[in-house]
């Protein structure tokens, strides 16, 4: 628009130079000089102008000019009209985009709601047969204490129970029940269970007798998931090292190289085909609920996770 208006001013200046009639333009007589080209639109900070030759005079020329202030005042109504059109168009596009986003996200929202309800139903359906298996296992163990088949069933049932507890934590918030918890005994119990499942993994433990005021159920879930991660994602004939002090729990294990350690706490993220990618995300959630900090350190063939109590 400005370019078009400049061309219109140029034509008016040029036409005015033929008659010099009217008060729309300013006329000055200036020295000709060497660089002045006739009938060519020029501008400076204050005005648009052209140079026009004066008949019978070689030393001076006419300078016909038009004020820039006046020029921009002239185009102001059209500029405002364009701005209004642009604003209304932008508003229309924003409203349309918002409505389209609501429409396009509706199936996703519906799918997420179905997934959430399905997860709750699955958790509920798992609970009944799981409790039945656990009760009958206790009865069988009373009759066949040293039976290897029953021990293997018990190990598999504990894995299923661990999965159930992880899924159950996704669907609801924990209710804290603060009590004195012997962390060493919790760790030792979980280590004994995992050593039975992974006898080829070498375990080194240095555990102080630490009592912590916290929620026992949540702490057991944290430790179970941390140790499960250390054993499950180990390498053949690897190791797990566990250190417990009054300030933190350190679990280190041999490991394949981790590609994206910053994503390990993301729900459903996993770098192998094993597991659901829930363990460490639940550890992060429960640790924050209990006021703990959890930190990961990785090297090429080593994985270390720190649970900091204070």
Is 37 domain-assigned? Answer: no
Evaluate if pTM is beyond 0.75. Answer: no
| Residue from 94, 48, 38 nearest 69 by CA | 48
Is 134 domain-assigned? Answer: no
Write the CA distances from 262 to 100, 248, 290, 298, integer angstroms: 34, 21, 22, 10
Is 36 domain-assigned? Answer: no
Q: Are the beta carbons of 308 and 294 closer than 8 angstroms? A: yes
Is 45 domain-assigned? Answer: no
Is 158 domain-assigned? Answer: no
Is 222 domain-assigned? Answer: yes
Is 54 domain-assigned? Answer: no
Count other C-beta atoms under 10 Å from residue 94's C-beta: 10
Per-residue tens of pLDDT for the chain, all 310 residues:
888 888 988 999 999 888 888 888 999 998 887 767 888 999 899 999 999 988 888 888 999 999 998 888 888 888 888 899 999 999 999 999 999 988 888 888 888 788 777 766 776 667 667 777 777 777 777 777 777 777 777 777 777 777 666 666 665 666 778 899 999 999 998 898 888 888 899 999 999 998 999 988 889 889 988 998 898 888 888 999 999 999 999 999 998 888 877 788 887 777 766 656 677 888 888 888 888 999 988 888 889 999 998 7
Domain that holds residue 221: 178-308
Indicate the Cα dihedral angle 266, 268, 274, 279, nearest 10°. 60
| pLDDT at residue 245, rounded to an integer | 92
Any idea what the CATH number is for the domain that residue 198 is in?
3.30.565.10
| Domains held by the chain: number | 1
| pLDDT at residue 253, rounded to an integer | 92
Is 47 domain-assigned? Answer: no
HEC assignment per residue over the chain: CHHHHHHHHHHHHHHHHHHCCCCCCEEEEEECCCCCCECCCEECCCEEEEEEECCCCCCEEEEEEEEHHHHHHHHHHHHHHHHHHHHHHHHHHHHHHHHHHHHHHHHHHHHHHHHHHHHHHHHHHHHHHHHHHHHHHHHHHHHCCCCHHHHHHHHHHHHHHHHHHHHHHHCCCCCCCEEEEEHHHHHHHHHHHHHHHCCCCEEEEEECCCEEEEEHHHHHHHHHHHHHHHHHCCCCCCEEEEEECCCEEEEEEECCCCCCHHHCCCCCCCCCCCCCCCHHHHHHHHHHHHCCEEEEEEECCEEEEEEECC
| pLDDT at residue 272, rounded to an integer | 67
| pLDDT at residue 123, rounded to an integer | 67
Q: 92 φ, ψ to 5°?
A: -60, -45
Q: In what order do the strands lie in the sheet with 47-53?
A: 26-31, 60-67, 47-53, 42-43
| pLDDT at residue 171, rounded to an integer | 58
């Amino acid at each position: 628009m400005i370019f078009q208006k400049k061309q219109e001013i140029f034509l008016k200046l040029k036409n005015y130079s033929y008659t010099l009639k009217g008060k729309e333009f300013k006329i000055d007589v200036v020295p000709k000089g060497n660089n002045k080209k006739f009938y060519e639109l020029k501008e400076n900070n204050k005005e648009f102008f052209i140079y026009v030759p004066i008949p019978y005079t070689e030393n001076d020329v006419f300078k016909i000019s038009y004020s820039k202030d006046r020029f921009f005042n002239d185009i102001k109504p059209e500029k405002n009209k364009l701005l209004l059109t642009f604003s209304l168009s932008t508003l229309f596009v924003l409203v349309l985009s918002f409505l389209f986003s609501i429409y396009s996200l509706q199936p996703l929202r519906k799918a997420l709601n179905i997934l959430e309800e399905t997860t709750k139903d699955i958790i509920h359906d798992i609970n009944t047969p799981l409790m039945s298996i656990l009760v009958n296992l206790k009865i069988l163990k009373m009759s066949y204490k040293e039976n290897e088949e029953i021990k293997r069933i018990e190990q598999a049932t504990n894995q299923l129970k661990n999965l159930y507890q992880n899924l159950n934590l996704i669907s609801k918030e924990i209710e804290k029940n603060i009590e004195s918890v012997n962390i060493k005994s919790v760790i030792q119990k979980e280590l004994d269970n995992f050593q039975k499942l992974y006898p080829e993994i070498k375990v080194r433990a240095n555990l102080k007798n630490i009592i912590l005021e916290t929620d026992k159920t949540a702490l057991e879930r944290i430790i179970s998931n941390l140790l499960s991660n250390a054993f499950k994602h180990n390498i053949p004939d690897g190791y797990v090292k566990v250190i417990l002090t009054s300030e933190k729990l350190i679990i280190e294990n041999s490991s394949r190289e981790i590609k994206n350690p910053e994503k390990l706490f993301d729900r459903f993220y996993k770098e192998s085909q094993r597991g659901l990618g829930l363990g460490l995300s639940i550890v992060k959630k429960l640790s924050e609920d209990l006021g703990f900090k959890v930190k990961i350190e990785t090297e090429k063939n080593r994985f270390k996770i720190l649970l900091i109590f204070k």
